[in-house]
Amino acid sequence: MEKDVTIYDIARLLQLSPATVSRALNDHPAINSNTKHMIASKAKEMGYRSNMFASNLRRQRTSTIGVIVPRLDSYFMSTVLAGMEKVANDANYNLIISQSLESVRKEIANAKTMFDSRVDGLLVSLAADTENLDHFNTFFQKGIPMILFDRIMPQKNCTNIVIDNVKAGYDATSHLIEQGCRRIMHMTGNIKRNVYEDRLKGYKLALTDHGLAVDDALVQLTNLTRQDGLQLADHIKHMASPPDGLFVANDFCAVSCMGALKANGLSIPGDIAVVGFNNDPVSQVIEPNLTTVHYPGQEMGEIAAQSLINHLNGLLRINTTNTILLNYELVVRASSLRTPPAESC
Amino acid sequence: MEKDVTIYDIARLLQLSPATVSRALNDHPAINSNTKHMIASKAKEMGYRSNMFASNLRRQRTSTIGVIVPRLDSYFMSTVLAGMEKVANDANYNLIISQSLESVRKEIANAKTMFDSRVDGLLVSLAADTENLDHFNTFFQKGIPMILFDRIMPQKNCTNIVIDNVKAGYDATSHLIEQGCRRIMHMTGNIKRNVYEDRLKGYKLALTDHGLAVDDALVQLTNLTRQDGLQLADHIKHMASPPDGLFVANDFCAVSCMGALKANGLSIPGDIAVVGFNNDPVSQVIEPNLTTVHYPGQEMGEIAAQSLINHLNGLLRINTTNTILLNYELVVRASSLRTPPAESC
DNA sequence: TCTAACAAAGCAATCGGTTGCATAAAAATT
DNA sequence: AATTTTTATGCAACCGATTGCTTTGTTAGA
């Protein structure tokens, strides 16, 4: 447990002042480059590492970014975080990650912890039941920047990073229609959340655009759990006129539902064509493989982190930008593909 | 962007010294309880929050725990992290989480970042190809405690938290044998990692204990990806004498393999009974539901974090403890259940 | 040769809590 | 009443890096 090397140690050995050492290590222009090299190599030799606390205390910043996500256990989220980590590391920022487990209560607690940890900025994807951003007011008041991604909510001075969920929902639904579906069911999550609300909007829009009626009995609002998937299959089984297409706002739930539908003797995509959302690896495990909407998590994470860091470094004001839309892609697989395209209008 | 409240502000208003305020806020016994209450309420009223950096700087500790895991995107890992977060929050510790993405290179970089962040302790689950713990030497030298969980490696002065993978592998294999399987294949991961090595050991032990020969052609070492699952199914298809039982060390891979096996016309569990590992939600999505080994991630996370924190608080020396074994459970589902038990020896 | 301009480095205060030691006041003991 | 003990608080140094301002030394220009 030997003592840490400080800039004072380096200064003493090199007969310099700590100020010079500090400036040299921070590549300050007023320091002679020979001196810089000498200091840098000595520091390395002695195994010096900067004391972030002293530095943070003086600088009044932490080089730490807080991340709050609903859950960590999705393929999508893990790619997002990988992207954020990459960018943050490169820029010498640390990440503090916490999960709200889809509950505002926990989200509020997380926000408080982040605030007390004095993060320089915040990257947030909202919990299912978050209705307002009041718990982030302390951040807004102090001018601590915050970026919302994926699960967003309009907010002054706050950049949002998303895909166009309306359009994605529209495309998914249109695809089913093109495959000959005429009674398309949609199961989605809590429509307090933009992602689900928007996908629902897109779904409805696609129906009307193609001259199909919107039937509220065909829209199921659930929590998108495995259980919900099973229940939907059961529900479909007992419907007088069951749907011939199904658009589920989440792959995992779609897959569990597919299993139950098949068990009920329905053929997919023959009797009912299915489209999911997110391109979770599970979509390629189920038989038939699930058609789904892919969007790049890694990229979303990178962009979110980079935008925040640029803002912190004064390179980009995030309050002038406001929404960044990323591209998505409808990945057509067997669960929805009826060949040849049925055109039985 | 108003100025932060400090203990000096509180001291001035209350006509006390900063020292008293500091002690009061830390519940120091030498401070009168009336004074404590007065200070506490004033602090609350003024919206005081402690400056962790000043505190850390002086105390020479960070109240931060570093966590390095192979990946975040598994159900198991997310429950582990949830458990850690819970315990850490309650004990006023922060978590810094990073993923090695199964690569030593990244793991080394993560360890360095953690070291520079001066975490008080480390919770680690090793990457697939980690062969030694040299990159943690800086921690050992400084006496920074480290606990390994799940993916472990024997190390002096380092508590390990695991399940008995040998026994679990043994049980899984025995279960298949009891269901009448006589040619049991085992697919596992990199056997540099204890979890896979041990499950393999258990598999072999079960075979010999039941008088079955160990056939190396029936042991497949892969990366347990979806692709590997598909390839195994293909391989099985072309085997002269195919197996009648399959034990895969990972649910996701097992499930992808099952899909391909079924596509090849094999019936599960009739032609081939399958057991996975981890009790991933996907095991309940596949048809037939997958028999698997469940073990409590949340609990593992809680125990790991609590042990570390106890050690940091001097309540428990982790170098005296050494291995904590958690219970697991074989969850029997349809993928392996042949009723009535076939006894065709 | 003398001064202006610039480059390089040092001084010392600062960030906000923490803590060993000293002190003062009150309570207990003789 | 005098002394010891206990309780409650204050003083001031300290943790390690940063930075505005000053100083010293050097080079260029007059």
CB < 7 Å to strand C — which of 58-97 in chain B? 58-59
Least confident of A77-91, A190-204, B157-171, B186-200: A77-91
Distances (CA, A) of A307 to A115, A119, A145, A147, A192: 20, 16, 10, 8, 26
* pLDDT value at A67 more than 90: yes
Tokens 């810094």 correspond to what residue? Answer: B96
Closest by Cα among A77, A177, A192, A165 to A123:
A77
Task: Fold for B63-163+296-326, please state it.
Answer: Rossmann fold (3.40.50)
Q: CA end-to-end span of chain B, whole Å?
A: 79
Q: Within the 173-232 window of chain A, which residues sit less than 8 Å (CB to CB) from chain B?
A: 226
Query: H-helix or E-strand containing A255?
Result: helix A251-263
Query: What is the nearest nucleotide to B26, using C1' and CA?
Result: C18
CATH code, residues B7-50: 1.10.260.40
Please say whether the beta carbons of B331 and B281 come within 8 A.
no
Query: What is the nearest nucleotide to A57, using C1' and CA?
Result: C15
**Token pair recorded at residue A83:** 């992207």
Residue numbers in A near B255 (CB within 8 A)? 285
Instruction: Render pLDDT for B247-293 as a digit per residue (tens, 0 to 9).
Output: 999 999 999 999 999 999 999 999 999 999 999 999 998 889 999 99
Domain A165-295+330-336 has CATH 3.40.50.2300: yes
Q: How far is B206 from chain A (nearest CA, A)?
A: 30
For chain B, which residues make up each domain, given as ranges? 7-50, 63-163+296-326, 165-295+330-336
Whether B19 and chain A come into contact, CB under 8 Å, resolves to: no
Measure A318 CA to C3 C1' (Å). Answer: 50
Instruction: Render pLDDT for B225-252 as a digit per residue (tens, 0 to 9).
Output: 999 999 999 999 999 999 999 999 999 9
Instruction: Render pLDDT for A164-204 as a digit per residue (tens, 0 to 9).
Output: 999 999 999 999 999 999 999 999 999 999 999 999 999 99
Q: Do A287 and B262 touch (CB under 8 A)?
A: yes
Query: What is the nearest nucleotide to A32, using C1' and CA?
Result: C8
Residue A66 carries which DSSP code? Answer: E
Tokens 């995992």 correspond to what residue? Answer: A252
Q: CA end-to-end span of chain A, whole Å?
A: 78
Which residue of chain B comes nearest to A71, CA vs CA?
A: B78
pLDDT band for position A285 (cuts 50, 70, 90): confident
C-alpha span between A89 and B114 (Å, rounded): 12
pLDDT band for position A303 (cuts 50, 70, 90): very high
pLDDT band for position B341 (cuts 50, 70, 90): very low
Instruction: Render pLDDT for B307-321 as a digit per residue (tens, 0 to 9).
Output: 999 998 877 776 666
Residue numbers in B near A81 (CB within 8 A)? 72, 99
Tokens 């659930």 correspond to what residue? Answer: A222
C-alpha span between A40 and B158 (Å, rounded): 34
Residue numbers in B near A53 (CB within 8 A)? 52-54, 56-57, 62, 118
Q: Within the 29-68 window of chain B, which residues sit less than 8 Å (CB to CB) from chain A?
A: 49-54, 56-57, 62
C-alpha span between A82 and B316 (Å, rounded): 35
Topology match between the domains B63-163+296-326 and B165-295+330-336: yes
Please say whether the beta carbons of B69 and B99 come within 8 A.
yes
Closest by Cα among A156, A162, A120 to A320:
A156
Q: Do B118 and A52 touch (CB under 8 A)?
A: yes
Average pLDDT along chain A: 91
**Token pair recorded at residue A291:** 């058609």
Q: Which of B7, B25, B46, B53 to mutate to test the interface with A (most CBs of A within 10 A)?
A: B53
| Superfamily of A63-163+296-327 according to CATH | Response regulator (3.40.50.2300)
Instruction: Render pLDDT for B59-101 as a digit per residue (tens, 0 to 9).
Output: 988 889 999 999 887 889 888 998 999 899 888 888 999 999 9
Whether A81 and chain B come into contact, CB under 8 Å, resolves to: yes
Distances (CA, A) of A199 to A191, A195, A249, A289, B55: 9, 6, 7, 21, 48
